[in-house]
Amino acid sequence: MAGRAKPLTAAAAALAAAVLVLCPAALANPVPLSRSADGHAVVELSTPSGNLRLALDTGADTSAMTQAAITRLGLAPASSGNAALAALTGQSRVERYSLSGAQLGALDLPELLPAALPDAPDSRGQLDGFLGLDALAGRNWRIDLAANRLELAPDRPCTPGALSLPAIEGEVNGHTVLVLVDTGLAGSVGNPALGRQLARLPGRSARASVIGADGEAIRARIMRARSFSADGLEPRNVDIAIAALPVFETLNLTDRPALFAGMDLLDMSVITLGLAGESICTEAGAP
């Protein structure tokens, strides 16, 4: 999920796959992305009651909006009532609202049930929330963070991942790591199993905290990774927050090294998501 200083994500993600027939007109209309001060990729969503600036969040199964944005648009509570919002720091009960008639560029979106956020997901409070996988489901997407555009992608064969959120295999300092692709995070967060690998190597560490969508904070340790690679991504000398987050236990990722890769690692990359079926296909690499 989009977050503040050390941003968080909704942990469970919408199920997806990779078969979709697209018309040429749809492929020719990319949605422009802007950037927040924290580095989030930002989309503009048009609704019958006004526009929204939302962080694009591939790590969130459901979209969310600030209470101020919900009030501004005059949204009514969803008939399903409140629901559990899963974040890196745990789960919390939140009210959901009904948003119909939203458009992402020229694309009509299905009815969304955004969760209410107590605060904006960026440090300056300029965003209205984040756009999750519920808004992207049923289509294949190409997120070009180098050209700053989001567009529909054509059919292509792929091997679906085992998790219910975007993930690829990678390496940190030469050690194998599962990389969860999370554009809603400004800074990347790894589990203690990854931290144990980094701790054996020279580098710096510092105290920090990871702050959840509900305001909860969990202590973290910032460590320097000399190298990172996943698909075509190969940034050098990156800082990773290491924390025992509840989401790693939820995903059964406490024993093997795992990492939520945020925009500090994903920036200037191209991410392809297949979200048209029952499982998710993910690729990430250089433009």
pLDDT value, residue 203: 54
What are 86's strand-pairing partners?
A: 91
In the structure, what pLDDT confidence band is assigned to residue 202 with cuts at 50, 70 and 90?
low
The third-level CATH classification (topology) of the domain covering 24-152 is: Cathepsin D, subunit A; domain 1 (2.40.70)
pLDDT digits (tens, 9 = 90+) for 27-51: 458 999 999 999 999 999 999 999 9
The whole-angstrom separation of Cα 268 and Cα 266 is: 6
Least confident of 66-75, 77-86, 190-199: 77-86
In the structure, what pLDDT confidence band is assigned to residue 261 with cuts at 50, 70 and 90?
very high
Q: What is the mean pLDDT of residues 48-64?
A: 95
Using the Cα atoms of residue 33, residue 36, residue 39 and residue 40 in order, give the sign of their dihedral: negative
The whole-angstrom separation of Cα 273 and Cα 261 is: 15
Least confident of 30-44, 59-73, 207-221: 207-221
For the chain, the structural domain boundaries read 24-152, 167-285
DSSP code, position 74: T
In the structure, what pLDDT confidence band is assigned to residue 66 with cuts at 50, 70 and 90?
very high
Q: Answer yes or no: same fold for 24-152 and 167-285.
A: yes
**Is it the case that residue 143 has pLDDT exceeding 50?**
yes
User: Other C-beta atoms within 10 Å of 281: how many?
Assistant: 22
Least confident of 41-55, 62-76, 190-204: 190-204
Least confident of 21-35, 129-143, 247-261: 21-35
**Is it the case that residue 224 has pLDDT exceeding 70?**
yes
In the structure, what pLDDT confidence band is assigned to residue 17 with cuts at 50, 70 and 90?
very low
In the structure, what pLDDT confidence band is assigned to residue 205 with cuts at 50, 70 and 90?
low
Per-chain mean pLDDT for the chain: 85
Least confident of 10-14, 62-66, 156-160, 217-221: 10-14
Could you say which architecture CATH assigns to the domain 167-285?
Beta Barrel (2.40)
pLDDT digits (tens, 9 = 90+) for 85-139: 777 888 888 899 999 999 999 999 999 999 998 888 888 899 999 999 999 999 9
The whole-angstrom separation of Cα 204 and Cα 222 is: 8
